Amino acid sequence: MKMFNFNGNILMSVVVVLVLCLSEAAVVLGKIDVRITNEIGNGYGLSIHCRSKNDDLGQKMLKGNMYAEWAFDANIWGTTLYYCDMVWQLGWGHYDVYVASRDKSRCHYNCWYSARQDGLYAYDEVNGTYSFWARWETNPSE
């Protein structure tokens, strides 16, 4: 009776297969593109500061019709999160602009937002349109 001899070659084969599967998953998922455009109008600027657990994208001032954009690979655990603090003269807000568990079906590759006077609008990749997504917070005195 011949016994199975476990050795380093089998372990190495398993590791290679696992690495190939994980890299294939990254290729299938593709890069996610996040874009925030200032369409508030009337000459209002929009200050944004976006970050994730691992990346701080810095603060940016967007003049009319300017946008900030970045791309990334979502992690394989489905926990990727990017959020932004946004401020303009008449409103502000803290928004989760990419949440893997929420957005993997909403925005497959293009998670785009349009900042307008009444709030943020999110892009629908299927219909190619923007729809209302979130209101601005305002100061209690306003």
Quote the tokens at residue 19: 């690495």
Domains, the chain, in order of start with CATH, read 30-135 (2.60.40)
Other beta carbons within 10 Å of 38: 24
Q: What is the pTM of this model?
A: 0.78
pLDDT of residue 2: 55
pLDDT of residue 141: 54
- pLDDT tens column, 48-98: 999 999 999 999 999 999 999 999 999 989 999 999 999 999 999 999 999
pLDDT class for 29, splitting at 50, 70, 90? low
